[in-house]
Amino acid sequence: MRTPIAAAVVLLAGGSGAAAETVAATSRIDAVTVFPSGAEVVRTARVTIAKGEHTVVFANLPAEAVASSIRVDGKSAQPMELGAVDSRRLYLSEQESAKTEAERKRLEAEIETFEDQRRIAEARIAAADVQKSLVANLANLPNRPPLPAGAAPARDDWASILALMGTSLRDIAKARIDAEVEMRTLDRRLTDLRNELTSLAPSQEERTEVKIAVKAEQSLEADLTVRYQVASASWSPSYDARLATGSKTKGPALELTRRATITQQTGEAWEDVAIQLATARPTAGTAAPQLATISVDFFEPRPVPMAAPASRAIRQMADGAAPPPPAAEAVAAMDAAAPAAPVLRKATRALAEAEVAPFQTTYLVSGRASVATTGEPKSLDLKIDRFEPQLLARTVPKRDAKAYLYAKVDVPRGSPMLPGPVALFRDGTFVGNGQLPLLAGGEKHELGFGADDMVRVRHSIAEEKRGETGLISASKTDERNYRLSVKNMHERSIEVSVLDQIPVSRQDEIKVEWIGRHQPTVRDVEDRRGVVAWDMKLEADEEKVIEFGYRVIWPAAKSITYSGR
């Protein structure tokens, strides 16, 4: 029976203690837990350990592995003890550098060979051009100058000459085309080799090495696990919201698909690993901030200090003489007071199964997946939530004579939603993009799905009056009356919220009075002064009219102005 071996893990920076034998562990990434910022990586390795004390070395951790986060555990069928764990940064080993140099030499030799072959092909093309020119000269034989007097005329076999010209030109053309094809092939190969030579530099020169002290009472095989955190990884949520508005006999339905986009640039590829996505935010702080005491006192200006008499050294410098050298004690005090040089650190560059805990949700991605270290996004589907939403229409006819459709849902308890973009679909049609805020389980939220043409809205000014009142203390008045109408043309009833506003006075001398037949159901909506709302339920084909207004009264000797209308 395999039993876990518990060990005290001590993290040290630097070298490790003496060991009888060093065992190199060939490890692979088995699992990764990704947070909205950062990730925890789990590496596993199976090692064979002889009896005695040994040092197991994990040499391939990324450079940005956080040293303080390294944790080691192990399992074995025989007793085994884990001791100190040392970690350090190191560059590419000499062996890795030798491999790189050997590969560079191989590529350079191959490039040289292909360049020689290309020069031969160029020579073949030049030779073909010369041959073609010589053959073409045969056509000029009839234009030879006349022979001297008494010389016997040459008897040319023109049939043979023409046949030779045709055959030769055909062979020359074929040889030239073959050489051009070979040159194109060589050029492509040379381009690939030069690009490979350019990119031969290692993608990461720095690594983190972990050494683990292990003591075994007898030879054994052990499974060792190393956990560490990296910063250059994250996941961000996105959503698809698909609303079916329903019909006269069927209620509305909302399907919300949660998606995740994973990116990482940790310096190591996550190949065929088990991935978990956690909603916990380890980098967001673990405790509430502290508040300092705020005190108030009378202001007293500080006295301006009088200029102190110049010291002898300063007077000597003013006179052009060098100041006397400081005493040895003063030099020592200055060195002690000098700030220490800062320590420079290298800058770091299928649906999931949800596990709901009291403070977070973890999504276990189905199967195993791979995420490249280049920062390219990896998209995964996490979960589909289905709701029976309450539909409502909201309209601000003063600004826009349209009603907008909203679906009100209850966020599932224990399953928070992180902020992210949401693509909105209504009855199968894309209507736009929105943004979900951070929503805790049990909260209510309204998703907007665009203009609702089945709710007709009208807005008009019924009456405007301006005048003065009073005989002794005259006042001016400004009276406005409005008429709003809303009609539901859906087959089902719908909740409608109509929003408008009345002025808010900033002066005691300016009075604002509410007038009109219909009082609002909500005043100062969402703590916005002067914003009012009428909430109502409209049955199919029902229309309601809202009549309201306000009167503003102020001293006649003064003028008023409106802002924010």
DSSP-derived letter for residue 328 is H
Nearest to 202 by CA among 402, 6, 63, 348: 63
pLDDT value of position 300? 76
| Within-domain flag for 412 | yes
Using pLDDT thresholds of 50, 70 and 90, give the confidence band for residue 2: very low
pLDDT value of position 343? 55
| Within-domain flag for 346 | no
Residues 33 and 182 in one domain: no
E strand or H helix that includes residue 411: none
pLDDT value of position 451? 93
pLDDT value of position 47? 92
Q: What is the rounded (10 degree) CA torsion for 400, 402, 405, 406?
A: 20
pLDDT value of position 456? 95
Residues 118 and 39 in one domain: no
Q: What is the DSSP string of 144-211?
A: PPPPPTTPPPP---HHHHHHHHHHHHHHHHHHHHHHHHHHHHHHHHHHHHHHHHHTTS-S--EEEEEE
- Of residues 15 and 190, the one with the higher pLDDT is 190
- Of residues 65 and 172, the one with the higher pLDDT is 65
- Render the burial of 473-482: b for 16+ CB within 10 Å, e for the rest: eebbbbbbbb
3-state secondary structure of 99: helix
3-state secondary structure of 105: helix
pLDDT value of position 414? 73
- Of residues 166 and 214, the one with the higher pLDDT is 214
Range in 11-25, 193-207, 533-547 with the lowest mean pLDDT: 11-25
pLDDT value of position 404? 95
pLDDT value of position 172? 83
Range in 36-40, 212-216, 322-326 with the lowest mean pLDDT: 322-326
Residues 386 and 482 in one domain: no
DSSP-derived letter for residue 557 is T
Q: What is the DSSP string of 505-556?
A: -SSTT-EEEEESS---SEESGGG-TTEEEEEEEE-TT-EEEEEEEEEEEEET
Across the range 510-538, mean pLDDT stands at 92
Split into its structural domains, the chain has a count of 4
Using pLDDT thresholds of 50, 70 and 90, give the confidence band for residue 16: very low
pLDDT value of position 147? 55
Residues 250 and 384 in one domain: yes
3-state secondary structure of 215: strand
pLDDT value of position 327? 46
Write out the two tokens for 314: 């300063």
The Cα 565–Cα 550 span in angstroms is 14
Residues 370 and 247 in one domain: yes
pLDDT value of position 135? 73
Using pLDDT thresholds of 50, 70 and 90, give the confidence band for residue 7: very low
Using pLDDT thresholds of 50, 70 and 90, give the confidence band for residue 382: confident
| Within-domain flag for 551 | yes
Residues 463 and 537 in one domain: yes
Nearest to 279 by CA among 432, 440, 407, 83: 440
Whether the CA torsion 93, 95, 97, 103 is positive or negative: it is negative
Q: 378: domain range?
A: 235-281+351-451
pLDDT 10s digits, 109-124: 999 998 989 899 888 8
pLDDT reading at 17 higher than 60: no
pLDDT value of position 550? 93
pLDDT reading at 89 higher than 90: no
pLDDT value of position 558? 87
Nearest to 85 by CA among 55, 65, 64: 55
| Within-domain flag for 290 | no
How many alpha carbons lie under 13 Å from residue 565 in its C-beta half-sphere?
Answer: 5
Residues 459 and 447 in one domain: no
For Cα atoms 125, 128, 129, give the angle at the middle one, nearest 5 degrees.
Answer: 90
Nearest to 499 by CA among 543, 552, 457: 457
pLDDT 10s digits, 132-184: 787 777 666 565 566 565 555 555 555 666 666 677 778 888 888 988 899 89
| Within-domain flag for 299 | no
Residues 389 and 244 in one domain: yes
Residues 447 and 466 in one domain: no
pLDDT reading at 401 higher than 80: yes
pLDDT value of position 353? 63
Last residue of a domain, one of 424, 451, 478: 451
Residues 57 and 104 in one domain: no
- Of residues 473 and 290, the one with the higher pLDDT is 290
Using pLDDT thresholds of 50, 70 and 90, give the confidence band for residue 339: low
Using pLDDT thresholds of 50, 70 and 90, give the confidence band for residue 564: confident
pLDDT 10s digits, 48-62: 999 999 999 998 889
Could you give the angle at which helices 158-198 and 94-137 cross, rounded to 10 degrees? 160
pLDDT value of position 360? 66
State the chain's mean pLDDT as an integer.
81
The Cα 562–Cα 550 span in angstroms is 14
| Within-domain flag for 310 | no
Across the range 397-404, mean pLDDT stands at 92
| Within-domain flag for 525 | yes
CB-CB neighbours of 186 under 10 Å: 20
Residues 470 and 426 in one domain: no
List strands edge to edge, sheet with 403-410.
Answer: 444-451, 403-410, 390-395, 494-501, 531-538, 522-523
pLDDT value of position 103? 84
Q: What is the DSSP string of 238-293?
A: EEEEEEE---SSS--EEEEEEEEEEEE-SSS-EEEEEEEEE---GGG-SSPPP-PP
| Within-domain flag for 20 | yes
pLDDT 10s digits, 474-498: 889 999 999 999 999 988 899 999 9
Q: Which amino acid is at 169?
A: L
Range in 226-230, 345-349, 449-453, 460-464 with the lowest mean pLDDT: 345-349
pLDDT reading at 291 higher than 60: yes
Which residues are CB-contacts of 549 (< 8 A; sequence separation ≥ 6)? 462, 463, 479, 480, 481, 482, 514, 515, 516
Residues 359 and 435 in one domain: yes
